[in-house]
Amino acid sequence: MSRLLSEEEYRHTRAFKIKRWYHGEKDPYIGSVEMKPQKPFKEDIAVQKKRIHDEAFLKRNIYDIEHNRKLQFFQKFYKVVSILFVFLLIGILLYMVSYLPPVGNAANPDNNEVAAKYIEDGMKDTGAVNIVTGMILDYRAFDTLGESNVLFIATCTVLILLRADSKSGKQQEEESDRLYEPKNDIIVQKVAFFLVPTIIIFGIYIILNGHLSPGGGFSGGAIIGSGLILYVNAFGFKKIERFFTQKTYKWICFVSLLFYCLAKAYSFYCGAHHLETGIPLGTPGDILSSGLILPLNICVGLVVACTMYAFYAMFRKGGF
State the average pLDDT for the chain. 81
Please, are residues 130 and 213 in contact by the beta-carbon 8 Å criterion?
yes
What band does 85 get if pLDDT is binned at 50, 70 and 90? very high
What band does 82 get if pLDDT is binned at 50, 70 and 90? very high
The C-alpha atoms of residue 151 and residue 256 are separated, in whole angstroms, by 12
What band does 88 get if pLDDT is binned at 50, 70 and 90? very high
What band does 25 get if pLDDT is binned at 50, 70 and 90? confident
Give percent above pLDDT 90 in the chain: 18
Give percent above pLDDT 70 in the chain: 86
The C-alpha atoms of residue 129 and residue 287 are separated, in whole angstroms, by 11
Average pLDDT value for residue range 27-33 = 66
Give the three-class secondary structure for 63: coil
Question: Helices marked H in the chain — which ranges?
Answer: 7-10, 14-22, 45-61, 69-97, 113-126, 131-134, 141-162, 170-180, 186-208, 217-235, 237-240, 246-272, 293-317
The C-alpha atoms of residue 301 and residue 136 are separated, in whole angstroms, by 14
Note the pLDDT of residue 166. 54
Note the pLDDT of residue 122. 81
pLDDT of 45 higher than 80? yes
Which residues lie closer than 8 Å to 16 by C-beta, 6 or more apart?
10
Q: Of the ranges 17-26, 59-68, 126-135, 154-163, which one carries the lowest mean pLDDT score?
A: 59-68
Please, are residues 279 and 293 in contact by the beta-carbon 8 Å criterion?
no
Please, are residues 320 and 173 in contact by the beta-carbon 8 Å criterion?
no
Report DSSP state, residue 285: T
Model confidence pLDDT, tens digit, residues 118-177: 888 888 888 888 888 888 888 888 888 888 888 888 888 887 887 765 555 555 555 555
Question: Per the confidence metrics, is the pTM higher than 0.75?
Answer: no
Q: Of the ranges 216-220, 235-239, 249-253, 302-306, which one carries the lowest mean pLDDT score?
A: 235-239
Note the pLDDT of residue 179. 55
